[in-house]
Amino acid sequence: MAPVGITAEMEVSTIQEIDPTISQLLERSINARKASHSPYSKFPVGAALLCKDGTIFTGCNVENASFGVTICAERTAVVKAVSEGYKEFEAIAVCAVMEEKFVTPCGACRQVLAEFNPRMKIYLHNSSMEKVAITSLSHLLPDSFNPENVKFLS
């Protein structure tokens, strides 16, 4: 997770101004955060992934004493979706609390998300502020290494 202030490429909105579908996505990310297993960092994160057909998969961060095998909330949501046969994603909402900042997906999560939709909308929610920052994966990870840009030999 990378804490950020507001940049020129981010739009900020209040919860009340958000589209009802995205409000539901945000609510699901808030609830997913409650399931976090974060005994080491004490930094719970929740994510909710919106599929093209409207299905939502949630995830939370799951830490491990062997820090390298910790999995972030965003990747948890992606793994759950893909394991159920879903691979077309429209947006993701991420909920974390860090002072008066928004928390973006880490580099590894950005790369995993880019595998499925390099232009995905990202909604960042800090539940202590009642505001939402709206950005995109193409802004957070420009020129990503993804199936559209990389052709592997057969």
Question: C-alpha distances in angstroms, 100 versus 5, 6, 130?
Answer: 8, 10, 11
Q: Which residues pair with 47 in a beta bridge?
A: 59, 94
Of the residues 17, 27, 74, 88, only one is catalytic, namely 74
Burial 14-38 (b: 16+ CB within 10 A, else e): eeeebeeebbbbbbbbbebbeebeb
88 flagged as catalytic: no
CB 56 within 8 A of CB 50: yes
Distance CA 98, CA 104 (A): 11
Q: Which residues contact 10 (CB under 8 A, 6 or more apart)?
A: 4, 102, 124, 133, 134, 135, 139
> Which residues are tagged catalytic?
74
